[in-house]
Amino acid sequence: MGLLEIQRINCFYGNSQVLWDVSLAVNANEIVAVVGSNGAGKTTLLRAISGLHKISGGSISWKGRDIGNTPPHQILESGISQIPEGAGIFPYMTVLENLKIGAYSRKNWKNRFKNLEKVFSLFPELRERRNQLAGTLSGGERQMLGIGKGLMSSPEFLIFDEPSFGLSPKLVLKLLDTISEISKQGVTILLVEQNVHHAMSLSHRVYVLENGRMVKGGDSRTLLEDDYVRRAYLGA
């Protein structure tokens, strides 16, 4: 039984269906990646997990409890934190305020200073810039702030949507290090990536989503050798 189990969910935008019977499982302490081209439905899948998008049919269970169509703030309180594409920061608020928002729920609010210290020790740059408006940060710093904000709720499960988007190759490598560092601290990770090389090198298992359907899934090393994946995503 996985920590997070998604079974045959369907999602719609108005009348058009974007996810078809999508299933996925993530076990404790794993790093799982979902890859796929633009418009494959990756972001919708993540939004459905976090309660931002309604599912029609199928189920999402977290630690054996059904969490399908639960409001986002309750999902977060249950230990699942998502860093959306573009880091989901608030540009007209300071770095410190952004981080505090990550600890908004009552339980986390009490621990905000303790968690703030943890985030600052992971990203010392954020401490220096704590009173600066988040909108003035560079792309890499924004991504750090997004991750820091996500960690302020001491999540057991962290979801990343395109974390490498718009970052320089050097920053991407740093980001991948950070993600595996967070994973080593016992946080389970699900990430969506367009950069298949990165996704496969970082993750234990990979799912391939195409036109709203899961077409393949398996061990990252095995899929690296898979003919179909090599041709479609790795340019081989």
Using CB atoms within 10 Å of the CB of residue 73, give its burial: 0 to 12 exposed, 13 to 18 middle, 19+ buried: exposed
Q: Which stretch binds other proteins (CB under 8 A): 16-24, 31-39, 90-98, 122-130?
A: 90-98
- Provide, rounded to whole angstroms, the least separation between the CB of residue 52 and other proteins: 6
C-alpha closest to that of 67 among 78, 57, 56: 78
* Separation of alpha carbons 83 and 220, rounded Å: 23
Task: Please identify which residue in 8, 25, 37, 97 interacts with other proteins, judged by CB under 8 A.
Answer: 97
Q: Should residue 125 be labelled a site residue for other proteins when binding is judged by CB under 8 A?
A: no
CA 138 to chain centroid: 20
Contact set for other proteins, span 136-155 (CB under 8 A)? 149, 153
Q: Should residue 44 be labelled a site residue for other proteins when binding is judged by CB under 8 A?
A: no
Q: Should residue 36 be labelled a site residue for other proteins when binding is judged by CB under 8 A?
A: no
Q: Should residue 133 be labelled a site residue for other proteins when binding is judged by CB under 8 A?
A: no
Task: Please identify which residue in 42, 68, 100, 129 interacts with other proteins, judged by CB under 8 A.
Answer: 100
* Separation of alpha carbons 159 and 161, rounded Å: 7
Q: Which stretch binds other proteins (CB under 8 A): 1-9, 87-95, 164-172, 205-213?
A: 87-95
Task: Please identify which residue in 82, 143, 188, 203 interacts with other proteins, judged by CB under 8 A.
Answer: 82
Q: Should residue 217 be labelled a site residue for other proteins when binding is judged by CB under 8 A?
A: no
Lookup: tokens for 108: 């986390």
Smaller CB separation from other proteins, 61 or 94:
94
Is the distance from CB of 27 to CB of 3 less than 8 angstroms? yes
* Separation of alpha carbons 227 and 184, rounded Å: 31
Q: Extract the runs of DSSP E, i.e. beta strands, from 96-219.
A: 157-161, 188-193, 205-210, 213-219
Q: Which stretch binds other proteins (CB under 8 A): 37-45, 92-100, 169-177, 219-227?
A: 92-100
DSSP 187-213: -EEEEEES-HHHHHHH-SEEEEEETTE
Q: How many residues sit close enough to other proteins to count as binding (CB under 8 A)?
A: 27
Is the distance from CB of 95 to CB of 131 less than 8 angstroms? yes
Q: Should residue 92 be labelled a site residue for other proteins when binding is judged by CB under 8 A?
A: yes
Residues engaged in binding other proteins (CB under 8 A)? 50-52, 71-73, 76-77, 81-82, 84, 88-93, 97, 100-102, 104-105, 108-109, 149, 153
